[in-house]
Structure 1
Amino acid sequence: MLNDKISISSLLDADSVLLVKDPNTSKELLITQLSALACKDLSAEDAKDILERVLKREQGITTTLDTGLSIPHCRVDELDSFKAALAVIPQGIKDPLTDNITIKVMFLFLSPSNPAFFQKHLQMLAELSEKFKDSFISKLTQAAAPQEIIKIIKE
């Protein structure tokens, strides 16, 4: 498994995707919701600790790209595999750390902090920035349901 590339689509299913319709949703609330989805099979204590680490990391420097993709993430000692959740925000929300970037898609992922996973962590970041270009994000924001979002990602 360590030599296999992690694919975005293998980490997501309809239950790990949010379609956000409220333009007043905050980045912090979205991170909280996505973290809960990504950590659903972890203990409540571990999930709370992970959320705090992701939020703290986001306070320092934004993980939002100019395409509108936000990638909150962290490496976690307690994990032995990747975890992820996705939010699509058709109307977009403001990134509080930037003046001119609107978040349209947020992909939260957690990776094992085991050094053997570090290259995969970097590959995931590269794959996300490569796949989530303007035209792809536009397709996602036109989706009507999480199942449709998953279908677009798997295409």
Structure 2
Amino acid sequence: MQPLADLLTPERTASQVPGVSKKRLFETLARLISDDQISLSYDEVLSQLVAREKLGSTGLGEGIAIPHCRIDNCSQPTGTLLTLAEPIDFDSPDNQPVDLVFALLVPAEAHQQHLETLAGLARLFSQPKFCDELRKVQGSDELFKLATQAQAVAP
């Protein structure tokens, strides 16, 4: 898996985001991504994230979700990391609300890379200590720094 430093930018990292609903969360993710990546339109990002979520919840459990999709005009894997001020319902397998979200977009043709990156993210976010540290952070800059210093877990 690529290090989070290769997937994130400070502009796509936000701490303590108000998250009143899953729909509002996807709108926030689409806005952060499209504002930072001019080749990716807000409408396309939102549409693809919502379409993928309709196939089944991207909630992992333990308060973590990794919404993801393949998308045209995406030249490289792109991530967005958010912590939410208040947990939201996400239809997660354990029925726990979500407060830690990492969205992943990959180029439309990058099937294997998508799977490998997603698996690496799932391993990373399954580490309770890492997630607890992210949840404690109060500022977006600190969240970016902490996340990008994380060691990726080898497959």
Q: TM-score, normalised by structure 1?
A: 0.82
1:148 aligns with one of 137, 142, 151 = 142
Listed as ranges, the matches of 1:85-124 within 5 Å are 85-89=80-84, 91-96=86-91, 100-114=95-109, 117-124=110-117
Q: Is the 8 A contact 1:90 1:141 kept in 2?
A: no
Where in structure 1 are there 5+ consecutive unaligned residues? none
Listed as ranges, the matches of 1:1-155 within 5 Å are 5-22=1-18, 25-40=20-35, 41-42=37-38, 46-89=41-84, 91-96=86-91, 100-114=95-109, 117-132=110-125, 133-155=127-149
Provide the rounded CA distance (Å) in 2 between the counterparts of 1:86 and 1:20. Answer: 11
**Larger radius of gyration between Structure 1 and Structure 2:** 1
CA distance 1:84–1:21, shift in 2 (3 Å): closer
Q: Is the 8 A contact 1:30 1:87 kept in 2?
A: no
Where in structure 2 are there 5+ consecutive unaligned residues? 150-155
Provide the rounded CA distance (Å) in 2 between the counterparts of 1:79 and 1:70. Answer: 21
Q: Secondary structure at the match of 1:20?
A: strand
Range with bigger deviation, 104-113 or 87-96 = 87-96
Provide the rounded CA distance (Å) in 1 between the counterparts of 2:45 and 2:144. Answer: 25
What percent identity do the matched residue pairs reach? 26
The Cα RMSD (Å) is 2.1
Provide the rounded CA distance (Å) in 1 between the counterparts of 2:26 and 2:124. Answer: 21
Shift of 1:146: 0.9
Range with bigger deviation, 127-136 or 94-103 = 94-103
Range with bigger deviation, 91-100 or 132-141 = 91-100
* Residue identity matched to 1:137: C
Q: TM-score, normalised by structure 2?
A: 0.82
Provide the rounded CA distance (Å) in 1 between the counterparts of 2:11 and 2:42. Answer: 17
Q: Is the 8 A contact 2:7 2:79 kept in 1?
A: yes
Q: Is the 8 A contact 1:61 1:97 kept in 2?
A: no
Q: Secondary structure at the match of 1:42?
A: coil
Shift of 1:98: 5.6
Where in structure 1 do 4 or more consecutive aligned residues deviate above 6 Å?
none
| Paired residue total | 147
